[in-house]
Each structure stands twice: as structure tokens, then as C-alpha cells.
Amino acid sequence: MRWSDWVLVLHIAAGRGNDLLVRRFLERGARVRMRDAARRAALHHAAAAGHLRVIHTLLTQTSPADARYLLRARDEAGRTPLDCAREASHARAAAVLETAAKEAIQ
């Protein structure tokens, strides 16, 4: 399997809320900064679906630099993961991402 295929699987797992699979990918060194064809990172997919556990995993089980990158990442439409959560009316996910973004600035 090519690395790009694994990235797609990570994004699908994040979007479906499969925290166990996301954790396993991270433990095996998955590159969380990789993007799909729409320039979305795994955090975009988790945020758009409102998967709080996956959001937490992606932000806490990666390096602080990767977490900051994920929080600021913009897809091809210019949306951050926070924007995706808000657009999908996932208020709790948006609140978690907003708090994480504020903490990342400090």
C-alpha cells in the first residue's frame, strides 16, 4: 500500500469516529499533516462529523507543533477544522477546537 492510501484510511477513520484505528495509526507514526485531495487533514474530517474522541486524540497524541498545524490547517475552500465543526452544527466539537486553538496561541 502506498503512503497516500494510508492517509486516506486515516481520514476515513477520523471521519467515521474510529478512535481506536486513529490511535493505532498515530502509534505507528502516521503523518497527521498529510492532506486529502480537498486539502483536508484528518482533523477536518473528525470536526465535520463531530467526533469528540477523535478530535481529542488528534490534538493530544501528536506533537504540539502538529496540533497547532492541524488547528490552523485550511482546506481548499479556506476552512479550518473549527469552521467545519461550526458549519455542521457540532457545537461541542467547535467549543473543544476553539479552546484548543486559544491554548495553542499561548
CA 15 to chain CA mean position, Å: 9
Its CATH architecture, for the domain 3-105, is: Alpha Horseshoe (1.25)
pLDDT at site 60: 96
Predicted confidence pLDDT, tens digits, the chain (106 residues): 565 666 789 999 999 999 999 999 999 888 899 999 899 999 999 999 999 999 999 999 999 999 999 999 999 999 999 999 999 999 999 999 999 999 987 6
Question: What's the predicted TM-score (pTM) here?
Answer: 0.93
pLDDT at site 105: 77
Terminal-residue alpha carbon distance, the chain:
39
Q: Which of 90, 84, 3 is nearest to 39 (CA)?
A: 84
Q: Which of 39, 21, 18, 17 is nearest to 30 (CA)?
A: 21
